[in-house]
Amino acid sequence: MKKKAQLTIFIIVGIILIASISVFFIFRNSLNQEVTNPETENIRNFVLGCIDEVGVEVIEQIGDGGGYYSSSNKPTNLGLAIYYSENQNYIPSKKEIEEEISLYVEEKLFFCTRNFVDFSELDISQGDIKVNSLINDEEIVLDVDYFVSVSKDGNTDVLRDFEVKIPVRLGIIYNSILEIVQSSREDICLSCILDISLRDDLYIDMNDLSENEVMFVIRDEESKLNNESFEWVFVIDYE
């Protein structure tokens, strides 16, 4: 009798647990997927457009800054990032570059949406912005957690997860840069640079900044931002 009672309790608990999980997923899916206001899709597209705009801005800036939009690890007098000097490697890791991209989007996205002032007919509230950036060979993925609540006529929709892919071959460019710096730390290896250029279809220019400093400009015609080829700039100090 005792065992039957215990078994009955376990069954009841199991039913309650399954029901709770089902209610949770139904409620979550209704929040994330069900749209009651026709204007909600306009808000979604507006936010996606802003993410793309801000993402392009920061990618252009980190290209000019050698992986940094705010400050470089070891700038020259021109504010360019030095990647190698006095037997020290200063190349930012891919993770550091991803963090720079994420930080910029987190800081600037709010200014692009402008508190949704262009949608005065809607009651819109928003939460904090959290961005996770991922550098792939052919693209940069911006995964944005941004709570946006859209209400009208007593109906409320919730938007949360936004994903934007920017077609810049940053992963390929980054790996090429690692090879260039590795092969040209002590002296410029022209044959190595030519091989990398032909293999990855990149234009690689070199300019003397001083007697010891050489600026490298990597230009990718296949990666277009605002109809212009993407460029990445860095310096090697041969002192």
Whole-Å CA distances, 227 to 19, 104, 134, 150, 218: 53, 22, 23, 34, 17
Confidence (pLDDT) at 39: 86
Give yes or no for residue 21 having a pLDDT over 90. no
Neighbours of 214 (CB within 10 A): 16
Q: Is residue 22 domain-shared with residue 101, that is, in the same domain?
A: no
Q: 30 pLDDT exceeds 60?
A: no
pLDDT value at residue 154: 86
Average pLDDT over residues 38-66: 94
Q: How far is the CA of 78 from the CAs of 7, 36, 90, 116, 187, in angstroms?
A: 76, 53, 17, 38, 22
Question: Is 189 contained in some domain?
Answer: no
First to last CA, the chain: 88
Place of tokens 């963090």: 99
9 and 114 share one domain: no
In a 3-state reduction of DSSP, which class is residue 25?
Answer: helix
- pLDDT digits over 196-212, tens only? 999 999 999 999 999 99
Residue 134 lies in a domain: yes
Q: pTM for the complete prediction?
A: 0.81
Q: Give residue 214's pLDDT.
A: 95
Determine what percent of the chain is predicted with pLDDT higher than 90: 72
How many other C-beta atoms are found inside a 10 Å radius of the C-beta of residue 65? 22
pLDDT band (50, 70, 90) for residue 9:
low
Domain boundary among 166, 184, 206: 166
Question: Do residues 97 and 120 both lie within one domain?
Answer: yes
Domain edge (last residue) among 166, 186, 201: 166
Confidence of residue 31 (pLDDT cuts 50, 70, 90): very low
Whether residue 141 sits in one domain with residue 99: yes
Residue-range definition of the domain harbouring residue 116: 37-65+93-166
- Looking at residue 1, its pLDDT comes to 52
Lowest mean pLDDT segment, chosen from 23-27, 158-162, 226-230: 23-27
pLDDT at position 130 is 97
Q: Are 6 and 122 contained in the same domain?
A: no
Q: Is the pLDDT of residue 5 over 90?
A: no
Confidence of residue 34 (pLDDT cuts 50, 70, 90): low
SS3 53: helix
Residues 102 and 26 in one domain: no
Regarding whether 160 and 117 lie in a shared domain, the answer is yes
Across 7-16, 34-43, 167-176, 216-225, least confident range: 7-16
Residue with tokens 């409620």: 27
Q: Average pLDDT, whole number, for the chain?
A: 87
- What does the pLDDT look like over 126-163, one tens digit per residue? 999 999 999 999 999 999 999 999 998 888 999 999 99
Residues 46, 160: one domain?
Answer: yes
pLDDT at position 24: 44
Q: What is the mean pLDDT of residues 169-176?
A: 97
